[in-house]
Amino acid sequence: MKPNFLLGLALVLSGLPGHHCHAAIIYPQAPDGGRQMVYASVSALPRSMSRYLGGFQIEDLTIADPYRDYSVGPTNLASGQLLSAAQPVGWRYLLMHGTNAVGAAVLIADKKSGKALKFGGLNQTDFSNETLEALRRAEPLPQIKKQDYELRRLDCPALLFVAVWLHGKSDDIIIPLPDTFGRWNAYQPCSESEMIKLLEPEAKKRLKFPPGMVD
């Protein structure tokens, strides 16, 4: 397995879980054995699966430090709840070739202990590189200069909403990832209250009309 690193661009990791990068964005303590589980699980996939990772095999890639996935439902959003209702659902490991993210591996984790339980599959969407772009844009924010923020991923599948969630002790920064379908601005940093104002009417619409019937 190759040495651990995430970026040689805007962010630089030390390779130590939870260590600071220079933008004061930190990574949570990773599950014991998580990286080894990712490597073994991806290695066991058919070689033809490399087409989902830019044509690369796992031995060609670097497994970056992970961050946690959180999910929230439309019912919570319709009642004005966002971060307080978000539930951890797993761990996401970006798979890097140089400074480019070619995909991500997901581990399902125990909700209480956070321990990685099993391989949850590969994610080959553009969200991996879009996450890196969100982090690049977050780096110069004035809030980032003042305190540490833990990197998280936040989504609401029912609303096709995905965002980078930077969690700090005194506040949170939410950076929506594309595609936003014109409902809000991609990569525009928002506070929780600002994001709730955008998501709440969408959630109410989703609950009122079954999927496929919303204009």
Tell whether the model's pLDDT for residue 18 goes beyond 80: no
Residue 171's alpha-carbon distances to 98, 144, 146, 191, in angstroms, are 33, 11, 11, 8
What is this structure's pTM?
0.85
The topology under which CATH files domain 25-208 is prostaphopain b, domain 1 (3.10.500)
Highest mean pLDDT of the ranges 8-12, 27-31, 198-202: 198-202
Residue 155's alpha-carbon distances to 4, 5, 72, 116, 135, in angstroms, are 27, 25, 6, 20, 17
**DSSP H or E segment with residue 81:** none
Three-class DSSP category at 91? strand
pLDDT value for 15: 35
Q: Which residues pair with 101 in a beta bridge?
A: 96
pLDDT value for 74: 96
Extended strands (E) in 2-86: 25-26, 62-63, 67-71
CB-count exposure of residue 88 (10 Å: 0-12, 13-18, 19+): middle
